[in-house]
């Protein structure tokens, strides 16, 4: 019962941001379509920016889903375990809602412009130029829900990790990770003649089911579920002993 109550509270917090986000997204998309038709009549535009914007939004939502909720939960007699489960349910609910909203927006925009969803773009080998058949809509929904949830739980893990770390470790990670990505990996690439980048590409291509000409979204769903379980496990380890900070 407390799980549902806590989920309801967290979802209510995200509702306002969702309304603002989609208001801006739809407004900007309509403006771009109008400008496109005005300045380049007859030319088709192409975009999958809706899903990319959604990915960024849900990542930020994940990042904003710990500290305030943790304090509020403890103030209202909710255990850390219940908070963790309800946070995952909340992020999953937001991912599902955003998937359906994105699908509807995509369907509408595909009527007025040359719109391709991110999903169809990635798995074009499976669906070709076909748009919105029952099969790819259902597979797209499943894929989107899982990928959005993965992105959200990554944000949730990062914010929880930062909450638990002391100042020194926070600083080390905040500097260390960008330095490793921007300098370390390119340096390792030079030393290994591109093997590092190639293996990173290989890992993601295989995880997404697009390696070597394959086009299998179910592989991405399976990988995503594994990622959610692993990231969720780490996050729970961080939350289970978290205490209120002064």
Partner 1 sequence: MSKIIVKDLSKNFGKVNALKNVSFEFEENKIYGLLGRNGAGKSTLLNIMTNKLFPTNGEVYVDGENVCENDKVLSKIYCMMEKNLYLDGIKVKEVFKWSKVFYPDFDVEYSLTLADKFGLKINKKVKELSTGYSSIFKIIIALSCNAPIILLDEPVLGLDANHRDLFYKELIANYSERPRTIVISTHLIEEVADIIEKVIIIKDGELIMNDSIENVLSRGYAISGVASKIDEFIENKQVIGVDTLGGLKTAYVVGSLDKSTVPNDLEISKLDLQKLFIQLTNA
Please work out the total of residues on this chain that contact partner 1, with binding judged by CB under 8 A: 22
Q: Write down the least CB distance from residue 173 to partner 1, Å.
A: 23
**Among 40, 46, 76, 192, which residue interacts with partner 1 (rule: CB under 8 A)?**
76
110 Cβ partners below 8 Å, 6+ apart?
A: 116, 131, 132
Is residue 78 part of the contact set for partner 1 (CB under 8 A)?
Answer: yes
**Among 111, 167, 193, 241, which residue interacts with partner 1 (rule: CB under 8 A)?**
241
Is residue 82 part of the contact set for partner 1 (CB under 8 A)?
Answer: yes
Nearer to partner 1, 3 or 188 (CB): 3
Span from 78-86, 91-99, 117-125, 204-212 in contact with partner 1 (CB under 8 A): 78-86
Nearer to partner 1, 193 or 241 (CB): 241
- How distant, in Å, are the alpha carbons of 33, 43, 62, 168, 235 from that of 39? 10, 9, 39, 53, 49
Is residue 236 part of the contact set for partner 1 (CB under 8 A)?
Answer: no
Span from 66-74, 124-132, 171-179, 196-204 in contact with partner 1 (CB under 8 A): 66-74
Span from 71-79, 138-146, 214-222, 226-234 in contact with partner 1 (CB under 8 A): 71-79
Q: Write down the least CB distance from residue 152 to partner 1, Å.
A: 20
Q: Output the CA torsion sign for 200, 203, 206, 207.
A: negative
Q: Which long-range contacts (CB under 8 A, 24 or more apart) does 239-244 make?
A: 239/70, 239/80, 239/83, 239/84, 239/160, 240/80, 240/81, 240/84, 242/70, 242/80, 242/160, 242/163, 242/164, 244/70, 244/71, 244/74
Q: How many residues does the chain have?
A: 246
**Are the C-beta atoms of 144 and 102 separated by less than 8 Å?**
yes
Is residue 2 part of the contact set for partner 1 (CB under 8 A)?
Answer: yes
Q: Which residues pair with 46 in a beta bridge?
A: 114
220 token code pair: 């991405």
Q: Where do contacts with partner 1 occur on this chain (CB under 8 A)?
A: 2, 5, 8-9, 13, 68, 71-72, 74-82, 240-241, 243-244, 246
């Amino acid at each position: 019962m407390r799980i549902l109550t806590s989920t309801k509270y967290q979802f209510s917090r995200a509702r306002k941001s969702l309304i603002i986000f989609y208001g801006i997204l739809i407004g900007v998309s309509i403006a771009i379509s109008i400008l496109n038709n005005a300045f380049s009549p007859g030319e088709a535009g192409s975009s999958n920016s809706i899903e990319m914007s959604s990915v960024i939004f849900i990542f930020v939502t994940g990042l904003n889903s710990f500290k305030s909720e943790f304090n509020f939960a403890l103030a209202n007699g909710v255990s850390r375990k219940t908070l963790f489960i309800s946070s995952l349910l909340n992020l999953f609910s937001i991912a599902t809602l955003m998937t359906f909203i994105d699908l509807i927006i995509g369907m509408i925009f595909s009527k007025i412009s040359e719109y391709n969803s991110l999903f169809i773009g990635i798995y074009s080998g499976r669906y070709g130029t076909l748009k919105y058949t029952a099969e790819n809509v259902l597979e797209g929904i499943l894929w989107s829900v899982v990928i959005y949830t993965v992105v959200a739980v990554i944000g949730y893990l990062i914010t929880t990790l930062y909450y638990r770390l002391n100042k020194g470790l926070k600083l080390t990670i905040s500097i260390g990770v960008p330095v490793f990505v921007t300098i370390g990996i390119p340096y390792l690439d030079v030393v290994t003649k591109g093997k590092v980048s190639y293996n990173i590409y290989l890992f993601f291509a295989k995880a997404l089911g697009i390696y070597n000409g394959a086009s299998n979204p179910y592989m991405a769903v399976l990988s995503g579920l594994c990622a959610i379980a692993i990231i969720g496990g780490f996050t729970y380890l961080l939350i289970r002993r978290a205490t209120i900070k002064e």
